[in-house]
Amino acid sequence: MNAPTDISPQDGLALEAIMAFWADAGVETAYDDAPVDRLAVPVPPRPAPSRPTAPVALAKAGAADPAVAVAEARALAAACADLGALAAAIAIFDGCPLKGMGARQAVFSRGRPDAPLMIIGEGPGAEEDTLGQPFVGRSGRLLDRMLAAAGLADQVFISNTVFWRPPGNRTPGPDEQRVCAPFVERAFALVRPRAVLLLGAAAARSVLRVEEGVMKLRGHWHHWRPLESAIEAPVMTTLHPAFLLRQPQAKGAVWADLLEVAARLDAAP
């Protein structure tokens, strides 16, 4: 079958948006090397012989018990005097279930350790998982361009609510975010930003502990004072850059939010 040659510009943009969506979801190819009979009845695998269960450490137990994992994360985070120590503590932490779901490495942060603006996204994607830094894929490059245009490029510290890539780039779950929250809060305490920008609904719900959608939250200032913290900061929520790749018409709303953040930083003493 020959490909159609009369694709309109609108159809081309729609196709590009669809392809970007699947790329962000981790789809790398649209075909297999060999044909697959998807109507064949699968043969159930033979059960493997049972083996005695080895004892598990406290951190491993935390993966099944979020309360235990949260307590361990809080103890590890509290002992960190700087961001380097915090990154090392995150790397050895085994209490987040995502660590055992195929992630290559922990992805903690990039940017200035004394940044006036802390940016928190949802979780690492495929390129972040490979390179070990947050927001280095297509959505991260878009974020960098928008930050530069708003005069914020060298004023940010960027992290996520979870530090391991969720399978298939899905949204991290509340329990996964909860066990990572002590590390996020400790990063906030060490950076001491003058403002915080949250990217996407999952980040907003985790940090602000609210149930509203991102469209209701964005464009308004909130305040964040983490548990066991003596500092707080104003918080702005905006749309995630990955959403903008699929819906470019929403860039205007994010641009307005970034300008509001820049003005707030300029006005801060």
Amino acid letter, 209: R
Domains of the chain, earliest start first: 58-267 (3.40.470.10)
Q: What pLDDT score does 25 carry?
A: 47
Q: What is the mean pLDDT of residues 14-37?
A: 52
- pLDDT tens readout for residues 212-262: 999 999 999 999 999 878 889 999 999 999 999 999 999 999 999 999 999
Better-scored residue on pLDDT, 91 or 38: 91
Tell me, what's the pLDDT at 44? 53
Percent of the chain with pLDDT over 90: 72
Structure confidence at residue 40 as a pLDDT band (50, 70, 90): low
CA distance 251 to 145: 12
Tell me the C-alpha distance between 91 and 207, whole Å. Answer: 21
Q: What is the 3-state secondary structure (H, E, C) of the chain?
A: CCCCCCCCHHHHHHHHHHHHHHHHCCCCCCCCCCCCCCCCCCCCCCCCCCCCCCCCCHHHHHHHCHHHHHHHHHHHHHCCCCHHHHHHHHHHCCCCHHHHCCCCCCCCCEECCCCCEEEEECCCCHHHHHHCCCCCCHHHHHHHHHHHHCCCCCCEEEEECCCCCCHHHCCCCHHHHHHHHHHHHHHHHHHCCCEEEEECHHHHHHHHCCCCCHHHHCCCEEEECCCCCCCCEEEEEECCHHHHHHCHHHHHHHHHHHHHHHHHHHHCC
The answer to whether 108 and 87 are in contact (CB under 8 A) is: yes
Q: What is the pLDDT of residues 60-76, one digit of tens each?
A: 434 458 899 999 999 99
User: What does the alpha-carbon distance between residue 143 and residue 120 come to, in Å, rounded to a whole number?
Assistant: 12
- Angle of CA points 69, 75, 76, to nearest 5°: 90
* Residue 5: pLDDT band with limits 50, 70, 90: low
